[in-house]
Amino acid sequence: MLKKTLLAALVFGVATTAVQANEVSGYVTGSVGQTNSKGFNSKKKFGHKIAVGLQANEFVGLEAQYTDLGKPKDKGYVVDGLGNAYDYKGTARTRGLGANLVGTLPLNDFKLFAKVGYHKMETKVKVNVAGIGSGKTTEREWVPSFGLGGAYALTSELDLVAEYERYKDVADNYNVDFASVGLRYSF
């Protein structure tokens, strides 16, 4: 609860400062890339995200983000208490909504940025064990994230964006890395 309260206070503070300074601008970003889920055999999967942001000034911004971290697959075998081995196959799809605080360092046509965020992620896991059956479960939880990136101005409104993000402790124990490229339209 404390984390949610602090995030709400931070959002309100950034928004209030931006309105008072009358420097608010907005942007929309769409990105695609590759995710890497620590703990799965099929580690690298396609992911995508969409973000809508408010830039309070040239250094500080706040964004809301939808992220789909892909659907990695895993397979192998499990051994029961009697020593019997069973083949299994499974998938885990993770996606969710969140907010990021973004710090930006403008360098002419380039911008470097760092972000920290908090996201409500949903992971749906499906498993099929040969000879035993199948099952599925869904886990929803708040997870922290951080990222680094850069943007290059193609025009005064359009940037090419590349970034790396890490989502910590997804589904309680997996870190998911997301490297992406995309376009950002500023208005």
* CATH classification for the domain delimited by 2-77+84-186, as one of 2.40.160.20, 3.40.50.300, 3.30.70.1020, 2.20.140.10: 2.40.160.20
Token digits of residue 123: 């992971």
Q: Where are the beta strands (DSSP E) in 44-156?
A: 44-55, 60-68, 73-79, 85-107, 110-129, 133-153
Per-residue pLDDT of the chain (187 residues; tens, 9 = 90+): 666 665 555 555 655 554 555 679 999 999 999 999 876 555 678 999 999 999 999 999 999 999 999 988 888 888 888 999 999 999 889 999 999 999 999 999 999 999 999 999 999 999 999 988 999 999 999 999 999 999 999 999 999 999 999 999 998 788 999 999 999 999 9
CA angle 72, 74, 77 (to 5 degrees): 175
- Domain coordinates in residue numbering, the chain: 2-77+84-186
Q: What is the pLDDT of residues 64-112, one digit of tens each?
A: 999 999 988 888 888 888 999 999 999 889 999 999 999 999 999 999 9
- Those residues with Cβ within 8 angstroms of residue 101's Cβ, 6 or more apart along the chain or in another chain: 10, 14, 60, 61, 62, 115, 116, 117
In contact, 37 and 176? CB cutoff 8 Å: yes
The Cα 119–Cα 177 span in angstroms is 14
CB atoms within 10 A of CB 96: 20
Give the pLDDT confidence score for residue 92 in this predicted structure: 87
